[in-house]
A and B are shown apart, each in its own frame.
Chain A
């Protein structure tokens, strides 16, 4: 099962500056575990202390935000693209 992973430019340092590459997993959680094996330290930057996705990090399966599907349990299948990008945000 091949999953295409896409990292936003600003966090490509987490994946040895790779922008797009293939990985594996049947859920986002499993994919992140595999990415941790490929890029040690990856998981700690992506997940908060409660083991949930960091509040200001967005993960999309194709064009769907996983928060509106099943969060880390979101299923992924061969050929899907999973994108990681930090939110551009602020406020007064």
Chain B
């Protein structure tokens, strides 16, 4: 599977991650007809270099916005300030509800989890899907 993503989305995520150093940054991408349509920064209420938790009210408002616009949830992104661009065991656990309930379907079955790493001088952005099991798959992405 090769996913085509406008380069503006990659740049937005990297800039957000850099601006929020030393803390992790997080946000949400909406899509229309399967194509990214909007990207939103969401406040990391954990305010931490090691973890993120999206502001619930902002999360709820974005869900309402999707209902109004007909858009769907496309991806959730967050940054790793000093580790690789790969979902951590905590990230995978939190993809399920209740957390770690790997026998169930994940909370979001058909979305992408985007990780941006600031570990090296050139930021690394990678897309993943997380499935029951848990199964974590990296998705090939062409930024264009």
Contacts and interface: CB of A to CB of B under 8 A. Distances in A.
Instruction: Answer yes or no: are A and B bound together in one complex.
Output: yes
Interface residues of A, number: 21
B88 A90 contact: yes
Interface in B88-144: 88, 90-91, 94-95, 97-99, 107-108
The winner among B53, B56, B57 for most chain A CB atoms within 10 A is: B56
Contacts of A60: 56-57, 60
A10 B107 contact: yes
Given A56-B94, A58-B56, A87-B54, A92 B88 contact: yes
Contacts of A58: 56
Interface in A54-92: 54, 56, 58, 60, 63, 65, 83, 85-92
B94 A63 contact: no
A9 interface: yes
Given A10-B107, A60-B60, A88-B59, A54 B53 contact: no
Contacts of A86: 97, 107
B60 to A, nearest CB: 6
B50 interface: yes
22 contacts: A6-B60, A8-B59, A10-B97, A10-B107, A10-B108, A56-B97, A60-B60, A86-B97, A87-B56, A88-B42, A88-B54, A88-B59, A88-B94, A89-B51, A89-B53, A89-B94, A90-B78, A90-B87, A91-B46, A91-B48, A91-B88, A92-B91
Interface of B: 24, 26, 42, 46, 48, 50-54, 56-57, 59-60, 63, 73, 76, 78, 80, 82-83, 87-88, 90-91, 94-95, 97-99, 107-108
Given A56-B97, A88-B94, A91-B51, 18 more contacts: A9-B73, A10-B108, A56-B98, A56-B99, A58-B56, A60-B57, A85-B59, A86-B97, A88-B53, A89-B46, A89-B53, A89-B54, A90-B91, A91-B24, A91-B91, A92-B50, A92-B51, A92-B91
